[in-house]
Amino acid sequence: MTTDFAATRALFHLPEGIVYLDGNSLGPLPVAARTRVADAVTAEWGEMLITGWNRAGWMDLPRRVGDRIGRLIGADPGTVVMGDTLSIKVYQALASALELVPQRRVILSDTGNFPSDLYMADGLVRTLGQGYALKTVAPEEVEAAIDGSVAVLMLTEVDYRTGRKHDMARLTAKAHAAGALTVWDLAHSAGALPVDLAGCGADFAVGCSYKYLNSGPGGPAFIYVAPRHADTARPALSGWLGHEAPFAFDLDYRPGAGIERMRVGTPPILQLAALDAAMDAWDIADIHDVRARSIDLSEAFIARVEAACPMLSLASPRDPAARGSQVSFRHPEGYAIMQALIAEGVIGDFRAPDILRFGFTPLYIGMAEVEAAADTLARIMASEAWNRADYKRRARVT
Amino acid sequence: MTTDFAATRALFHLPEGIVYLDGNSLGPLPVAARTRVADAVTAEWGEMLITGWNRAGWMDLPRRVGDRIGRLIGADPGTVVMGDTLSIKVYQALASALELVPQRRVILSDTGNFPSDLYMADGLVRTLGQGYALKTVAPEEVEAAIDGSVAVLMLTEVDYRTGRKHDMARLTAKAHAAGALTVWDLAHSAGALPVDLAGCGADFAVGCSYKYLNSGPGGPAFIYVAPRHADTARPALSGWLGHEAPFAFDLDYRPGAGIERMRVGTPPILQLAALDAAMDAWDIADIHDVRARSIDLSEAFIARVEAACPMLSLASPRDPAARGSQVSFRHPEGYAIMQALIAEGVIGDFRAPDILRFGFTPLYIGMAEVEAAADTLARIMASEAWNRADYKRRARVT
């Protein structure tokens, strides 16, 4: 497939007059989501009421949409299911993975992981007690730290601040060689670049849908379990929809077959409707094309910014193969600079303490926008337009 | 307030030609939810993109809506927050409650609890290890089973099958006298009858929003923590939005102040928008009026059904004060009877093995519908219209 990016661009609504380089935080509205969500509200909930669970296919939606995401991340049909938030899915994957390596007690992660993953691991470790521990090392030290003490290697493939990308295949192989399992967080990977979970032999993976998958604010997360673990992994969050027979209402929990057991409670149908609509873009887009185009855009942005803004230092790896689909620069006044950029209609985001982060999302962003963003940034830096008290006063930033 | 039930009825869309007695499973569409969800999609997500988290107030929505629910359940402002599913919230409340009673190991519950609550407790007990155990007794034996071994009494106030209602005040006092804490599941209470969490001294409470609160399929759950525990309860599901400073992205978890710490991940904004619209009904409805009217409707239904259908036996308590807002009857062919009823436009639901369940929801159901439903049921029973192979063939029932 050679992706027609003009066609994918037409699938999204973007407000006039802005350059949106924050789709790695919240993807924009897919035009089809308007109708799809309205139908879920009016035609399904409104007219079918309780019967929507069967007649509108609500009950199976987490699996159907999971399969659509599976195609982007190298997961076979029936190995991905939607639900909950990413933090919950991290807990769930991690708890199951730990139980599969009962003789070990160490979760290994890195300081570049998204903090919520570390917080959830910390909460799980506290609940488990009995010597369980979370060990974090610097991202570049992960490989050397994989040893025979590690039960589970828990990593986010692409660093949310710098865009640094781990080598999933190599680290997974290393973990397996050491007798450990892996939990991969694909928050900044799914929809951004090709992932090959099955090919890498990944054990568990989780991710969110509101970034590069454009499901809207608070869209549900996904979880993948390798088929070899799917019928043995025991869910710690053992909710009724993961039961073998939810509607038998047995008093005892018996995990459902395969990925079904990773379901917990009632799925969020309105959010899933939006996600399902958003996934239509992938019917005409090839993730390899998206990756290639993202690299073109990112390289152009880096070149243009570095040429014009020597005071900004590149925080992302220079090698595009070692980056995800974002580019970050550092500056001590990063917060104020981002406020000035937003005031000029260029939306990126700031990550403490000093990171300016720009996401490149070829489904709806092209070279013209990238050049405009770089030029606006250059103008702001040259004129010190960021140097205003109101830009420096920090509000809560998302 | 004397509630105008014609006015509340006008706030809901109900399809023509049906009598909907299943609002205790999934409430109908509030007319205002159409616009409110469409606005969240188009005007907020579509136009504000990432800035919606602040500009549209998305980040605070779980607290703002939580406060609206708090008014129905005797919870002070700032003690309730929305998020996740009810199963997740059960786990979260239970884990925190257990940690507050560190010298004890027993969760006491009953066999009338919703199975998912028991499953989640079972999963937590397995994760905790170290002698933690879930003990279940029959609902009528709960009071006698509260002793000095019990760490947490975990009950659903209203039984999902029979509608039997526990005495929250008495059981909470008994638990406290025995040195135990309480986790109350209000799934069939919130919006159905007055609950006085603060007055009862309840410690933790959880509930869902898609039943009597009409938030739509998969709407988020709520959690309440008594103010005396709110700053000491430690979240086991320690997600970033429960952190003291989520956007500082610290590597270490520090729980936020009060109920904020019970937040986990990114809240589902489209579902919350629907819920927020649904809560408008409570601006003109008084929960005490709703309860009184629900009893009138339920009593009328029981009298009419019992007069015409001697083959159905009442499964709910006869004393309305001992019931929630539903009425259940038993019959060995309950499944087929419910299918026949649904075919006649009367929507209730079936709960295995033999329960016909009817929810009474005065916000949008009146005496005419109740009489029509009873008469239809009587006609079906008299004619044995349920006695058809296609009605007896069980599909997956929700």
Can you give the pLDDT at residue A398?
A: 42
Token digits for A99?
Answer: 């139980």
* Contact yes or no for B121/B175 (Cβ under 8 A): no
Cα separation, A270 vs A261, in Å, equals: 22
Residue reference for tokens 């009673």? B101
Nearest-CA distance A207 → chain B (Å):
12
The DSSP bridge pattern shows strands B355-359 and B326-330 to be: antiparallel
Q: Is B166 helix (H, G, I), strand (E, B) or coil?
A: coil
Active site residue B349: no
Kindly list the distances between the CA atom of residue A284 and the CA atoms of A4, A7, A120, A280, A292, in Å, as whole numbers in the listed order.
8, 8, 36, 8, 16
Contacts B236 to A, Cβ<8 Å = 123-124, 126-127
Which residue, B104, B139, B109, B137, is CA-closest to B121? B109
The two tokens of residue A390 are 């109101």
Residue ending a domain, among A283, A299, A331, is A283
Q: Which residue has the tokens 């005490």?
A: B288
Cβ atoms A224, A80 nearer than 8 A: yes
Question: How many angstroms from the chain centroid is the CA of residue B232?
Answer: 26
Closest residue to A396, CB basis, from B25, B111, B247:
B247
Whether B398 is in a domain gets the answer: no
Rounded Cα gap, residues B27 and B12, in angstroms? 9
CB contact under 8 A, A236 and B127: yes
pLDDT of residue A397: 45
Closest chain B C-alpha to A305 CA, distance in angstroms:
23
| Contact state of B216 with A45 under an 8 Å Cβ cutoff | yes
Take residue A322 and report the two structure tokens written for it: 């070692």
- Rounded CA separation B237/B312 (Å): 45
Residue A398 lies in a domain: no
Amino acid at A292: A
Q: Of the residues A242, A258, A283, which one is the last residue of a structural domain?
A: A283
Reading across the β-sheet that carries A355-359, which strands appear in turn? A313-314, A326-330, A355-359, A349-351
- CA A112 to the chain's CA centroid: 14
What ipTM was assigned to the predicted interfaces of this complex?
Answer: 0.97
A355 is written with which tokens? 């990171």
Low-confidence ranges of chain A (pLDDT < 50): 397-398
Domain limits for position A176: 32-283
Among residues A114, A222, A350, A360, the one annotated as catalytic is A114
Calculate helix-pair angle for A269-278, B269-278, nearest 10 degrees: 140
Q: Do B116 and A236 touch (CB under 8 A)?
A: no
Q: Is B13 inside any structural domain?
A: yes
Query: And the tokens for A96?
Result: 């199951």
CATH code of residue B338: 3.90.1150.10
Q: What are B108's strand-pairing partners?
A: B135, B153
Q: Which amino acid is at B154?
A: M
Residue B206: per-residue pLDDT: 98
Together in a domain, A232 and A341:
no
Cβ pair B129:A128 closer than 8 A: yes
Per annotation, catalytic residue among A185, A203, A276, A354:
A185
φ, ψ at B356 (rounded to 5°): -100, 125
Per-residue pLDDT of chain B (398 residues; tens, 9 = 90+): 699 999 999 999 999 999 999 999 999 999 999 999 999 999 999 999 999 999 999 999 999 999 999 999 999 999 999 999 999 999 999 999 999 999 999 999 999 999 999 999 999 999 999 999 999 999 999 999 999 999 999 999 999 999 999 999 999 999 999 999 999 999 999 999 999 999 999 999 999 999 999 999 999 999 999 999 999 999 999 999 999 999 999 999 999 999 999 999 999 999 999 999 999 999 999 999 999 999 999 999 999 999 999 999 999 999 999 999 999 999 999 999 999 999 999 999 999 899 999 999 999 999 999 999 999 999 999 999 899 988 988 755 44
CB count, 10 Å around CB of B388? 13
In angstroms, rounded to a whole number, what is the distance separating the alpha carbons of residues A269 and B178?
Answer: 42
pLDDT of residue B92: 98
Q: Is A211 a catalytic residue?
A: yes
Q: Which of B79, B386, B28 has its CA nearest to residue B261?
A: B79
Q: Where are the beta strands (DSSP E) in chain B?
A: 12-13, 19-20, 29-30, 80-82, 106-110, 133-137, 150-156, 181-185, 204-207, 222-225, 313-314, 326-330, 346-347, 349-351, 355-359
Q: Is residue B12 assigned to a domain?
A: yes
Q: How far apart are CA B122 and CA B5, in angstroms?
A: 42
B151 and B39 in a single domain? The answer is yes
Strand ranges in A5-79 using DSSP code E only, listed in sequence order:
12-13, 19-20, 29-30
Residue A263's CATH number: 3.40.640.10
Cβ within 8 Å of residue B162, ≥6 positions away: B112, B315, B316, B317, B328, B355
Q: Are residues B274 and B368 in the same domain?
A: no
Are residues B159 and B39 both part of a single domain?
yes
DSSP, collapsed to helix, strand or coil, labels residue B149 as: coil
Indicate which residue of B117, B185, B276, B349 is catalytic. B185
Are A247 and A189 members of one domain? yes
Does residue A53 share a domain with residue A23?
no
Yes or no, beta carbons of B253 and A123 under 8 Å apart: yes
First-last CA distance in chain A: 36
pTM > 0.95: yes or no: yes
Q: How many domains does chain B have?
A: 2
Q: Answer whether B316's CB lies under 8 Å from B326's CB.
A: yes
Q: What's the confidence (pLDDT) of residue B301?
A: 98
Q: Which of B58, B87, B124 sits opposite A217 (nearest CB)?
A: B58
Same domain, A273 and A295: no
User: How crowded is the C-beta side of A204, counted as CA atoms within 13 Å?
Assistant: 33
Residue B13: φ, ψ to 5°: -95, 125
Spatial distance between the Cα atoms of A32 and A259, rounded to a whole number of angstroms = 28
**Cβ contacts (< 8 Å) between B55 and chain A: which residues?**
none
Within 10 Å of residue A199's Cβ, how many Cβ atoms?
12
Rounded distance between C-alpha atoms, residue B36 and residue B228, angstroms? 35
Interface test with chain B among A208, A212, A266, by most B beta carbons within 10 Å: A266
Calpha distance A260→A225 (Å, rounded): 10
Nearest-angstrom CA–CA distance, B227 and B249: 27
Return the pLDDT at B318: 98
Q: What pLDDT does B397 receive? A: 45
Same-domain check for residues B293 and B276? no
Domain boundary among B256, B283, B310: B283
Q: Are residues B273 and B127 in the same domain?
A: yes
Quick check: is B357 catalytic?
Answer: yes
3-state secondary structure of A82: strand
List, as one string, the DSSP characters of B232-298: TPPPSS--GGGBSSGGG--SS--B-SGGGGG--S---HHHHHHHHHHTTHHHH--HHHHHHHHHHHH
pLDDT (0 to 100) of residue A13? 98
User: Would you say residue B397 lies in a domain?
Assistant: no
Using alpha carbons, select from B386, B382, B309 the residue that is nearest to residue B344: B386
Maximal CA-CA distance, chain A: 68
pLDDT of residue B381: 96
Cα separation, A167 vs B15, whole angstroms: 54
Going from the C-alpha of A204 to that of each of A180, A184, A208, A216, A255, the distances in angstroms are: 12, 6, 14, 24, 17
Question: A273 near B37, Cβ under 8 Å?
Answer: no
Question: In this structure, is residue A47 part of a structural domain?
Answer: yes
Residue A142 in any domain: the answer is: yes
Determine, yes or no, domain membership for B268.
yes
B129 with B190, same domain: the answer is: yes
> Both A81 and A159 in a single domain?
yes
A240 in the same domain as A123? yes
Rounded distance, CA B96 to CA A362, Å? 44
Residue A357 designated active-site: yes
Residue A30: cis peptide before it, omega within 30 degrees of 0: no
Give the tokens for residue A105. 């007690």
